[in-house]
Amino acid sequence: MIARIWHGITTEAKSDAFVEQLIRAGVNQCHATPGNRGVQVLRRNRDGRAEFFFVSLWDSMDSVRAFAGPNTDQAVYYPDDKDFLTEFEPTVAHYELFDFPQPAAQPTQAA
């Protein structure tokens, strides 16, 4: 599985509205793309800014291409993003994801 990670910054005052924008645009487009395994959005408000990490999970780089186009390292932006973001980072990062399930619970021994 592939994790595609985008980073963006907006003002803290606009951060709730930007979450709604992320859902309308990026989250919904990811969910509609075959091979998407889910989306997680992380937000940290600090010093009047809101920092976001948008993590989308994909079956393969072919699935990522179906979402992002042939240049998979290029960030995908939407027209309304200009109303929120303070800068536009040109690229994203991709990581291979390893899943480690929780070990089975061990029975407790009576003393």
Tens-place pLDDT, residues 85-102: 999 999 999 999 998 888
Has domain 2-96 been given CATH number 3.30.70.100? yes
Q: Map tokens 């979450």 to a residue.
A: 19
> What is the 8-class DSSP label of residue 90?
S
Reported pTM: 0.87
Tens-place pLDDT, residues 3-45: 999 999 999 999 999 999 999 999 999 999 999 999 999 999 9
State the SS3 of 24-43.
HHHHHHHHHCCCEEEEEEEE
Percentage of the chain with pLDDT > 90? 87
Tell me how far apart the alpha carbons of residues 73 and 91 are, in angstroms, rounded to a whole number: 5
Do the Cβ atoms of 97 and 9 come closer than 8 Å? no
